[in-house]
């Protein structure tokens, strides 16, 4: 479509601020961003919509406009909601680079402009493909009754012979075609999500092409019209929450019209993403209210009242009050000032989307709030039973990460860390404060472990492992060196294997016969080695205190 036609659309209320001589330019697509450098998401010919959150001062306008011009952008439309009027420095920069500049009134949603452009561009450039987009639009805007993204994907299959799936960043299948071919295996979903996150973090231009099991897939990002690159100043703020469209085809040789169509479909599917996001607003507000009551020491009766309100929302039809678990998550980025709370909240909602049942449609049994850099989930359990070993059922720390570790590790790349802590289940409001502290302690235990994605549960808080990660490194080194270095030096000189002997002796609870049998030694030889250990360290392995010191030194070494 021509830029002039867009400006003449009264319903959009666009105002021209510069570029009167360039109104015959062609708009080939639309992209919303507030990144300081959005070049990786541009392919040329776009109308760029921006809320101006990237602008910190007047000096930022020139480099931003220069990047748009270099990428072949058709025009820039700036929203007036953030700063009121469009800044003069931006107007001047666009005039210098002959980039048409439009003002978007604060009453006009970017989504309205996006939908209008997608519909018009598809109609003018894709011919019969426009009918497909329009059918998709009607399906999506009619809400759940219209069939949602599954019907959109069925239309891609029937009209364009394309099999496609919508995946979460953790590899969860959100939507897929119902009428053609086998389902996409869970392992393939995880691999595709990991490849997409890796490509996004390394700055590769979409669509990302992946060869998996002899089949080529093309991966398209699905970015929400809410908190996404257009409102995030750093791509890491959204990399762990954006959906993706996986198409079973090689888009490398596609015509421009078909690529435009697929990008238009991703924008329409984003409507469903926003609908589901809005549906979580009530649960988030409930979690935030309960969290504030717990942290401010409110009376248990007041907290219990809010829990009674939350239970029907999270578990409709439940007769008795549920038990509750608390899950705490934190996302940290090395050397970056990124607000971690919203990132952790979106990620925790995804990880916990259906902890108690299977299926692609989220059950939304959980409510997640965020405070500071951490997210806190309140997970209702309809029943809690005790197994023969005394452990309670419910959300388990390692189980949460079992299927999502690889995709999340790819998204975190080499500068991000995700840590989770899970509390035991509690059955009353009185226990929530303790559960919150328990989950936070467990998360700190997880943070002390190596790896990009780690979790710890409440069971680990009753063990020495709770203490060891918090011993300062210099203290750990001094303690282990004082006890073990004499034995290591002796082993290097004499090949006496005192360290393996010590480990086996402690593992056998000081039993001479069992330890000798394990090491295939005569008991007298074992007694000689233990005596040498005691002589070199001035310790007595018949004393519990000295055994404990050696045990801790070996665990910390």
| Measured distance CA(157)–CA(150) in Å, rounded | 11
φ/ψ of residue 459, rounded to 5: -60, -30
Which of 111, 146, 177 terminates a domain? The answer is 111
Tokens coding 121: 């561009």
The conformation of residue 75, written as its DSSP 8-state character, comes to: E
CB atoms within 10 A of CB 75: 26
pLDDT in tens, 391-439: 455 667 777 777 788 888 888 887 888 899 998 888 888 888 888 888 8
| 339 and 205 within one domain | no
Q: What is the pLDDT of residue 271?
A: 77
Predicted TM-score of the model (pTM): 0.59
| 552 and 537 within one domain | yes
- Residue predicted with more confidence, 259 or 383: 259
Q: What is the pLDDT of residue 389?
A: 39
The answer to the question of residue 119 being in a domain is: no
| 339 and 292 within one domain | yes
Task: Name the least confident of 63-72, 179-188, 232-241, 519-528.
Answer: 232-241
| 285 and 273 within one domain | no
Average pLDDT of the residues in 322-329: 86
| 70 and 51 within one domain | yes
| 74 and 89 within one domain | yes
Which of 54, 88, 111 terminates a domain? The answer is 111
Tokens coding 445: 């235990």
SS3 341: helix
Confidence band, pLDDT 50/70/90 cuts, at residue 464: low
Which of 111, 140, 161 terminates a domain? The answer is 111
Confidence band, pLDDT 50/70/90 cuts, at residue 232: very low
Range of the domain at 507: 473-556
Count of domains forming the chain: 4
| 310 and 386 within one domain | yes
CB 418 within 8 A of CB 340: no
Average pLDDT of the residues in 425-454: 85
Q: What is the pLDDT of residue 204?
A: 84
| Measured distance CA(55)–CA(261) in Å, rounded | 31
| 398 and 506 within one domain | no
Q: What is the DSSP string of 165-206?
A: EEE-TT--EEE--SSSSPPPPHHHHHHHHHHHHHHHHTTPPS
- Tracing tokens 């899970």 back to the chain, one arrives at 422
| 357 and 368 within one domain | yes
pLDDT in tens, 77-96: 999 877 778 999 999 999 99
SS3 527: helix
The answer to the question of residue 468 being in a domain is: no
């Amino acid at each position: 479509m021509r830029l002039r036609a867009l400006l003449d659309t009264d319903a959009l209320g666009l105002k021209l601020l510069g570029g009167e001589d360039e109104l015959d330019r062609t708009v080939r697509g639309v992209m919303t961003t507030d990144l300081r450098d959005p070049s990786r998401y541009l392919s040329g010919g776009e109308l760029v919509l921006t809320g101006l959150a990237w602008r910190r001062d007047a000096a930022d306008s020139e480099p931003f406009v220069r990047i748009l011009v270099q990428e072949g952008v058709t025009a820039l439309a700036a929203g007036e909601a953030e700063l009121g009027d469009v800044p003069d420095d931006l107007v001047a920069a666009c005039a210098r680079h002959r980039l048409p500049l439009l003002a978007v009134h604060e009453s006009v949603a970017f989504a309205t402009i996006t939908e209008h452009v997608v519909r018009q561009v598809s109609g003018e450039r894709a011919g019969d493909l426009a009918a497909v987009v329009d059918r998709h639009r009607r399906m999506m805007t009619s809400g759940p009754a219209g069939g949602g993204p599954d019907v959109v994907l069925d239309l891609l299959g029937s009209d364009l012979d394309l099999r496609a799936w919508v995946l979460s960043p953790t590899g969860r299948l959100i939507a897929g075609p119902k009428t053609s071919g086998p389902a996409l295996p869970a392992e393939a979903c995880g691999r595709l999500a990991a490849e997409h996150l890796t490509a996004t973090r390394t700055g590769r231009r979409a669509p990302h092409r992946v060869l998996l099991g002899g089949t080529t897939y093309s991966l398209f990002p699905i970015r929400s019209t809410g908190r996404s690159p257009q409102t995030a100043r750093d791509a890491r703020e959204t990399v762990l929450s954006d959906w993706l469209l996986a198409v079973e085809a090689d888009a490398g040789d596609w015509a421009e019209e078909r690529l435009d169509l697929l990008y238009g479909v991703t924008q329409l599917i984003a409507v469903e993403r926003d609908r589901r996001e809005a549906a979580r607003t009530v649960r988030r507000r409930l979690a935030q209210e309960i969290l504030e009551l717990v942290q401010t020491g409110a009376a248990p009766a007041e907290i219990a009242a809010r829990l009674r309100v939350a239970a029907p929302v999270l578990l409709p039809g439940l007769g008795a009050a549920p038990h509750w678990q608390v899950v705490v998550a934190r996302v940290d980025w090395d050397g970056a000032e990124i607000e971690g709370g919203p990132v952790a909240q979106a990620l925790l909602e995804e990880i916990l989307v259906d902890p108690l049942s299977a299926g692609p449609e989220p059950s939304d049994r959980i409510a997640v709030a965020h405070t500071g850099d951490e997210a806190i989930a309140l997970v209702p359990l309809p029943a809690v039973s005790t197994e023969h070993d005394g452990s309670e059922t419910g959300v388990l720390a390692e189980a949460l990460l079992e299927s999502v570790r690889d995709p999340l590790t790819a998204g975190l790349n080499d500068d991000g860390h995700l840590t989770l802590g899970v509390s035991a289940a509690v059955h009353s409001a009185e226990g929530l404060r303790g559960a919150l502290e328990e989950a936070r302690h467990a998360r700190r235990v997880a943070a002390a472990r190596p790896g990009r994605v780690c979790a710890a549960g409440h069971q680990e808080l009753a063990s020495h492992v709770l203490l060891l990660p918090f011993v300062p490194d210099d203290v750990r080194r001094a303690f282990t060196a004082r006890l073990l270095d004499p034995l290591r030096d002796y082993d290097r000189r004499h090949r006496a294997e005192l360290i393996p002997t010590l480990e086996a002796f402690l593992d056998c609870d000081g039993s001479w016969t069992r330890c000798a049998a394990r090491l295939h030694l005569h008991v007298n030889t074992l007694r000689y080695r233990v005596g040498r250990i005691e002589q070199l360290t001035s310790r007595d392995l018949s004393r519990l205190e000295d055994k404990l010191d050696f045990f801790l030194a070996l665990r910390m070494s």
